[in-house]
């Protein structure tokens, strides 16, 4: 993508960690709200942001969660939807730049249209753009088809192995870990962009960028509405009441604190947090931040290989040895674009082994009815938020 005031594009998420008590959830943001549950192609699963290849910024967003290898050939993006990566370059929680992507065609390979929006167009949910980019094609199977714009930004869309890894069964058994990756053997649709370092430097001279992803679609009245959004892991999943989850997803981050602080405080109180007020101020707005001038890795952005479960568990417990026994993804990540591992083929198991006999039969809405421990998810989200609070404070308030 191109960046003048800023011009970036594309994204996907993280996961969380905590203990005891249960709420409906799947991973970081999988199936977090009713509208997203009913539309797997609009359901943002994860958002990643990391540096690679000499300082380029890579942003990856995944949708279509928990797809078996046998069903992967049917994966598509929604032709009526717009997939948006939003970038805040000045810390005000308002998008300054957005990469907007949409597709046409119903075959295994779809046609891609994409472009960058700045200022007012970066905030909207529609397909208004300021700089169109060359048309391209999505990928099918293990093929890697990319499209590159005039500024050297690369875009990939296609099936990939789900990069999220952890032992869900062990969590559900009260932290009695089996060391078996619950997400082993499943695929997703990945949208990955790599933006040149020079473009990032022009857009955000201090190297600090806030990123979130959104999916949008026209409603019955013909108005574009936001179906899902995600910045940090598990904010909506854990802290927003069930009746407000769709409303949260349709909102914008700059309004988060004013509307949802009371709900977040109530959730923190229910988890017996010793610092409800302070933590509520950290958790909102829901934006994943990355400082490209500093070493990459969770909590600074999120890399594909970051073991967020172990990092979070160790921070929570104070133990340097605790972990879930799943130290890496079930497939090795690539060293070149698009970095996510190739999808599992049709000969792979139809459902991953959880190590506990957990029923993983699919239900209506796109995935199994798993639950995650609320405290564990909350703790991971808090840790992710804590990594960026210094950026959000005025200079005079930093310790």
Per-residue pLDDT of the chain (399 residues; tens, 9 = 90+): 544 333 333 222 222 323 222 323 345 454 545 666 678 999 999 999 999 998 999 999 999 998 999 999 999 999 999 999 999 999 999 999 999 999 999 999 999 999 999 999 999 999 999 999 999 999 999 999 999 999 999 999 999 999 988 887 887 787 788 899 988 999 999 999 999 999 999 999 999 999 999 999 999 999 999 999 999 877 787 788 989 999 999 999 999 999 999 998 887 777 666 667 877 777 789 999 999 999 888 879 999 998 877 875 665 455 688 788 999 999 999 999 999 999 999 554 444 443 333 332 233 333 332 333 344 444 444 444 443 333 343 334 433
d(CA 230, CA 45): 8
Asked if 380 and 17 touch (Cβ cutoff 8 Å), the reply is yes
Question: Helix count (H) and strand count (E) of the chain?
Answer: 10, 15
Q: Residue for token digits 């405290």?
A: 375
For residue 198, count other CB atoms closer than 10 A to its CB.
13
Q: What is the DSSP annotation of 122-180?
A: HH-SSS--SEE---EE---TT---EEE-TT--EEEEEEEE------HHHHHTTS-----
C-alpha–C-alpha distance, residues 187 and 86, integer Å: 24
Strands, sheet with 154-161, edge to edge from the N-terminal-most edge strand:
46-52, 56-67, 187-195, 154-161, 146-148
Tokens of 147: 């499209």
pLDDT at 29: 53
Gap between the Cα atoms of 361 and 319, Å rounded: 35
Catalogue the E-assigned strands of 68-185. Answer: 81-88, 97-104, 111-118, 131-132, 136-137, 146-148, 154-161
Domain spans of the chain, in order of start: 22-394
- Cα-Cα-Cα-Cα dihedral sign, residues 183, 187, 191, 194: positive
Q: Please measure the distance between the N-terminal and C-terminal CA atoms of the chain and give it in whole angstroms.
A: 36
The pLDDT assigned to 346 comes to 59
φ, ψ dihedrals at 26, nearest 5°: -140, 110
Angle 187-190-196 from CA coordinates, rounded to 5°: 145
Predicted confidence at residue 320, as pLDDT, reads 83
């Amino acid at each position: 993508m191109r960046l003048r005031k800023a011009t970036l594009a594309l994204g996907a998420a993280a996961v969380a960690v905590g203990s005891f008590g249960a709420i409906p959830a799947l991973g970081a943001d999988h199936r977090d709200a009713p509208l997203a549950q009913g539309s797997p192609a609009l359901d943002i699963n994860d958002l990643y942001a990391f540096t690679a290849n000499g300082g380029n910024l890579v942003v990856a967003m995944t949708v279509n969660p928990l797809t078996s290898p046998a069903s992967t050939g049917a994966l598509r993006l929604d032709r009526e939807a717009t997939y948006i990566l939003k970038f805040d370059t000045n810390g005000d929680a308002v998008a300054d730049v957005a990469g907007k992507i949409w597709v046409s065609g119903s075959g295994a390979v779809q046609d891609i249209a994409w472009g960058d929006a700045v200022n007012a167009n970066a905030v909207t949910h529609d397909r208004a753009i300021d700089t169109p980019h060359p048309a391209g094609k999505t990928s099918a199977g293990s093929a890697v088809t990319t499209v590159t714009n005039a500024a050297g930004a690369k875009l990939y869309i296609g099936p990939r192995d789900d990069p999220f890894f952890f032992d869900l069964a062990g969590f559900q058994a009260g932290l009695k870990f089996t060391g078996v990756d619950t997400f082993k053997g499943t695929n997703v649709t990945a949208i990955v962009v790599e933006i040149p370092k020079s473009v990032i430097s022009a857009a955000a001279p201090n190297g600090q960028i806030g990123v979130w992803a959104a999916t949008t679609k026209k409603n019955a009245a013909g108005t574009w509405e936001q179906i899902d959004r995600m910045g940090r892991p598990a904010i909506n999943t854990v802290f927003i009441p069930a009746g407000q989850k769709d409303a949260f997803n349709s909102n914008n981050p700059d309004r988060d604190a004013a509307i949802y602080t009371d709900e977040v405080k109530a959730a923190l109180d229910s988890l017996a947090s010793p610092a409800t007020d302070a933590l509520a101020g950290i958790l909102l707005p829901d934006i994943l931040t990355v400082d490209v001038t500093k070493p990459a890795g969770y909590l600074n952005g999120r890399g594909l290989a970051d073991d967020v479960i172990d990092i979070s568990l160790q921070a929570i417990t104070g133990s340097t040895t605790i972990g879930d026994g799943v130290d890496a993804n079930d497939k090795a990540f690539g060293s070149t674009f698009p970095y996510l591992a190739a999808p599992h083929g049709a000969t792979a198991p139809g459902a991953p082994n959880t190590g506990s006999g957990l029923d993983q039969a699919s239900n209506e809405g796109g995935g199994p009815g798993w639950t995650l421990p609320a405290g564990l998810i909350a703790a991971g989200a808090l840790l992710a938020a804590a990594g960026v609070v210094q950026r959000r404070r005025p200079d005079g308030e930093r310790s």
